[in-house]
Chain A
Amino acid sequence: MANWFIAFIALVLLFVIFAGMVIAAKYLAPREYDKEKYDLYECGVPMVSEFRYFNIRFYIIAIMFTLFDIEAIFMYPWAVYFEELGILGVIEMGLFIIMVFVGWIYAYKKGALVWE
């Protein structure tokens, strides 16, 4: 249990350390206001339009990721204990993978993996 407490403390401490660094830089650096400087910088050319949209393709990738990451997570405990389960465990894992890959084939056929 102490292990995971250390992991939590480490995460919080790291956040505090890096926040401290960024805040320290704020007070060390000079500051001078200029309207042009505080506008968005895009390669030096004045900006024409704002852009705030995620392409729908990336949502599909995110959904596929959920599917396959869960698959991978299910396979981890099996990989650690698969020798006790024997040949039956391997066959069952094969069936599970086939079920997941039906989804992959569907996505493939629908063109979710095609980029133009």
Chain B
Amino acid sequence: MIEVIIGIVKLILLVTVLSVYVMYATWYERKVIGHMQQRIGPKRVGPYGLLQPLADTIKSFFKEDVIPARADKPLFWLAPILAPTFPFAAAAAIPFFPPIELSNGTMFYFSVFHSNVDLLYILAMMGLSSFGVMLAGIASGGNKYSYFGAQREIAQVVSYEIILALALLNPILMVQSLNLTDFVTFQQQHLWLIFYQPFAFVAFVIAMVASASRVPFDLPEAENELVAGFNTEFTGLKMAMFFFGQYVTIFVVSALAAIVFLGGWSGPAILPGFVWYWLKVLLFIFMFTWFWGTFPRYRYDQLMDIAWKKLLPLLVLNILWTGFALIVHMPII
């Protein structure tokens, strides 16, 4: 019982922290992208525009909530609620700090939910998160842009879900556990897994950008083909909910990449563990913005070719090679 209460308290903390994170992620992104394009970015509200995200949040609560007459009403309400729910549920398994040992010998984990199958749970929740977008497309009542956007998003998320799962299999083969803490322990004893599995890391980065549907793989909301994609008909807070979900997805995949491939809270002892961990997570979050400022958008057939024709066979071969090399004690690369 006490565990459940602690879990609920942690969950409320998680929602608060991630909400503030999402607000400031939008500010940070606008600022960085502004400087990359030789603009200044937000600067009017507060010093350096620091109060801009607060103003945006309040504004989105007071915007008129237009539900088109032809829309499917129950689904139109359900879609923006589901869109952030599943990414947040995935974030519940992400540790925020290294676990500490309590005086009575048990470990205290800084994640809402800890089990020995963390990775499977996160993958499952990320797979479910495409439901919000699919419902948004269906609920929009025959708006063709919403429909195209939703179709594309589902096909893309579903294709890259496989790549994500297979790219994670290579580290799992080496660590032989699905527990995120075990990954860090392994990397504290050996090198970081990126040095053993560089190809899996590259595949994972491609898949994580695609599954968060960000530039260069932001086809579901390609403004110049599809107006705004699946959220064309949504206004005010309902639209903000989809971005909420997207930014939390970015956080989840960044933290996952930092733990699985870059060693989580392991690092030289100059800095404490959690500083290393957060530096790595922020590096990946910066990477998303950097990609946005750098790459043009891919074409849809190219996007699907990368997943199905290139990454899928190569990753499967990589998995078989890793398994074989580990059994006969050969070096992996």
Chain A residues in contact with chain B, CB under 8 A? 2-7, 9-11, 13-15, 17-19, 21-22, 24-26, 28-32, 37-43, 47, 49-55, 57-58, 61-62, 64-65, 68-69, 72-73, 75-76, 79-83, 86-87, 89-90, 93-94, 97, 101, 104, 108, 113-116
Do B172 and A69 have beta carbons less than 8 Å apart?
Answer: no
Do B143 and A6 have beta carbons less than 8 Å apart?
Answer: no
Task: Enumerate chain A residues within 8 angstroms of B309, measured Cβ to Cβ.
Answer: 108, 113
Do A38 and B92 have beta carbons less than 8 Å apart?
Answer: no
Do B232 and A41 have beta carbons less than 8 Å apart?
Answer: yes
Beyond the given A2-B4, A69-B165, A113-B308, please list 9 additional residue pairs across the A-B interface where CB-CB is below 8 A: A6-B3, A14-B84, A18-B81, A72-B162, A72-B169, A73-B165, A83-B326, A90-B327, A115-B300
Do B68 and A113 have beta carbons less than 8 Å apart?
Answer: no
The contact size tier of chain B is 35 or more
B301 at interface (Cβ–Cβ under 8 A)?
yes
Do A61 and B155 have beta carbons less than 8 Å apart?
Answer: yes
> Can you pick out 11 interface pairs between chain A and chain B where the beta carbons lie within 8 Å of each other?
A10-B89, A15-B82, A25-B61, A40-B140, A40-B141, A54-B151, A68-B162, A76-B178, A89-B327, A93-B323, A114-B301
Task: Enumerate chain A residues within 8 angstroms of B85, measured Cβ to Cβ.
Answer: 11, 14-15, 18
From known contacts A2-B4, A61-B159, infer whether A25 and B60 are also in contact, taking CB-CB under 8 Å.
yes
Residue from B61, B68, B81 in contact with A38 in the complex, judged by beta carbons closer than 8 Å: B68
Task: Enumerate chain A residues within 8 angstroms of B62, measured Cβ to Cβ.
Answer: 25, 28-30
Do A58 and B328 have beta carbons less than 8 Å apart?
Answer: no
B237 at interface (Cβ–Cβ under 8 A)?
yes
Within 8 A of A (CB), among B114-149: 114-115, 120-121, 140-145, 147
Do B68 and A39 have beta carbons less than 8 Å apart?
Answer: yes
Do B81 and A69 have beta carbons less than 8 Å apart?
Answer: no
Q: Which 9 A-B pairs have the closest CB atoms?
A: A50-B142, A115-B301, A51-B144, A25-B237, A6-B7, A72-B165, A79-B172, A65-B158, A90-B323
Measured between C-beta atoms, what is the minimum distance from B113 to chain A in Å?
5
Do A55 and B151 have beta carbons less than 8 Å apart?
Answer: yes
Task: Enumerate chain B residues within 8 angstroms of A65, measured Cβ to Cβ.
Answer: 158-159, 161-162
Task: Enumerate chain B residues within 8 angstroms of A104, measured Cβ to Cβ.
Answer: 312-313
A17 to B241, CA, bound (A): 12
One digit per residue, 1 when the CB lies within 8 angstroms of any chain A CB and 0 when it does not, for chain B 165-177 equals: 1100100110011
Task: Enumerate chain B residues within 8 angstroms of A89, measured Cβ to Cβ.
Answer: 323, 327
